[in-house]
A and B are shown apart, each in its own frame.
Chain A
Amino acid sequence: MKFGLLTTIGLSLLVLSLLSINSPIHSYVSISNPYSIKIPNIAYVNARLLENNSNVTVYAKLVHNGNVENIVKLPYYLELTPGIWEFSIYNETFPITLTKVINATVVNKSNGIVYVYEYQKIEKYQEIVTTKNATYPIALEVTIYKVNILQYKTIAEILGVLLLFIDIILLAFRFIRDNHKL
């Protein structure tokens, strides 16, 4: 049977409308400055935001299509819907170790005599610092777990079926014409 060009194109369109890339694609991005990613309609994506240092507590700002979605504490997991996502560090909270000098007194009794010693000693203490200027970058792990080949699947399917149908009709005409010639 002679298959026509329209049949092969129609079949291709039908195949494309059914296909998708299902093999997960992982990407890691290190974010210190605001980072944006555009998610198309054909993609299904999720993301994880992670702090870089175990002593650090980070809050990140999530903006979607220009609107502030949320300020979230990391680690944070979210589904990235289609549109433009912007990730930035909102604030960073981490303890710092400071030292201070204190006066210490030691009293000692010996043989009825009281000895009083005064000295200075260095004492460490911790303070919690909150800053909007990130010291440590955060990690954005993006997983694209599915990408459809076509956005307009229905149109492709209709077009594919139409082309197949037209080719079958043309095939029938050709068959009738050839038989008529004989």
Chain B
Amino acid sequence: MMRSRSFQIFRVIFKERYRQPTLELVIPTMLVSNIFITAFYARGLFNTYGLVLAFIPLISVSETLAFALALRNIIFVTGDHIYRGSIISFIMMPIKRISLFFFTYFCDIVLPYLFWLFTTELYILLSGIPVPQYLILVYTVGYFFTENIILLTALSFKSGGIVTLLSGTILGILFIFGGIAGYYGIMTNSPLTPIATISNPYVFLIYEAISQKQVTYLNVGIYSEVIISLILFFVSLQKFRIMEV
């Protein structure tokens, strides 16, 4: 009985985010837009360089779509519920707040990631293109890092507009200036270069692909992002648990 009740509550939360025809539009678009992987691969003369380019967010349609879907869920569904007060309806369901948070987190952030992962892996499998799995790993870590920033921002500020602006600014600065810093770091062989891997590892991946030299400190960025993501996650969880409406 209790398990069924939790499932029903999960169903309500899921339905809020994925009314028809959201999934019917998003998943096929993610799947079909992967043809750019093939296009970049061919354009790069079947080198890893082409694949790295194809997996850069904003260049990759499916990665951008996953990111945008999660952002919409966090700010314009969950955030909207909190700002308007309709979150009361969910808090008044017979479920612990921590469970409500996990259900919400799963629907908002984990599901778009799973859609992306499923469509990308299916495409890689059927196309036979040898995509290095570390490209999947780099996007995964970066995805949860950015979405956890957006989630904490949404729980901290009571306005959708402010959250959107702030998230966009923070992430834009991290990605763009991190990329620039990474580029100059590589050029000048600076000892501070590993720090830039946290905000934009793609510059280093491109460098690796072109120069055929391994960038050993890329792991610094991945581990740091994982730790920061976890911290942001637990802070958001605590904020949600003590949230007063």
B39 within 8 Å of A (CB atoms): yes
B77 within 8 Å of A (CB atoms): no
Q: In the complex the two chains form, is A5's CB within 8 Å of B126's CB? A: no
Contacts of A4 in B (CB 8 A): 24
CB distance from A168 to the nearest CB of B (A): 15
Q: In the complex the two chains form, is B27's CB within 8 Å of A41's CB? A: no
Chain A, 1-28, CB within 8 A of any chain B CB: 2-5, 8-9, 11-13, 15-16, 19, 21, 25, 27
B23 within 8 Å of A (CB atoms): yes
Contacts of A37 in B (CB 8 A): 45-46
A43 within 8 Å of B (CB atoms): yes
Q: In the complex the two chains form, is A16's CB within 8 Å of B31's CB? A: yes
Contacts of A42 in B (CB 8 A): 38, 127-129
CB distance from B18 to the nearest CB of A (A): 10
**Known contacts A8-B25, A149-B127; 20 further A-B pairs (Cβ under 8 A):** A3-B21, A5-B23, A5-B24, A5-B27, A11-B28, A16-B31, A19-B35, A25-B43, A27-B45, A29-B45, A37-B46, A38-B46, A39-B46, A40-B46, A42-B38, A43-B46, A147-B39, A150-B126, A152-B128, A155-B126
Can you offer 28 A-B residue contacts whose CB atoms are under 8 A?
A: A4-B24, A8-B25, A9-B27, A9-B31, A12-B28, A13-B126, A15-B32, A16-B31, A16-B35, A16-B123, A16-B126, A19-B35, A21-B42, A27-B45, A37-B45, A38-B46, A40-B41, A41-B128, A42-B128, A42-B129, A43-B42, A142-B45, A147-B42, A149-B38, A150-B126, A151-B126, A155-B126, A156-B126
The 4 A-B residue pairs with the shortest CB-CB distance, nearest first, are A151-B128, A12-B28, A8-B28, A150-B126
Residues on B close to A: CB < 8 A?
A: 20-21, 23-25, 27-28, 31-32, 35, 38-39, 41-43, 45-46, 123, 125-130
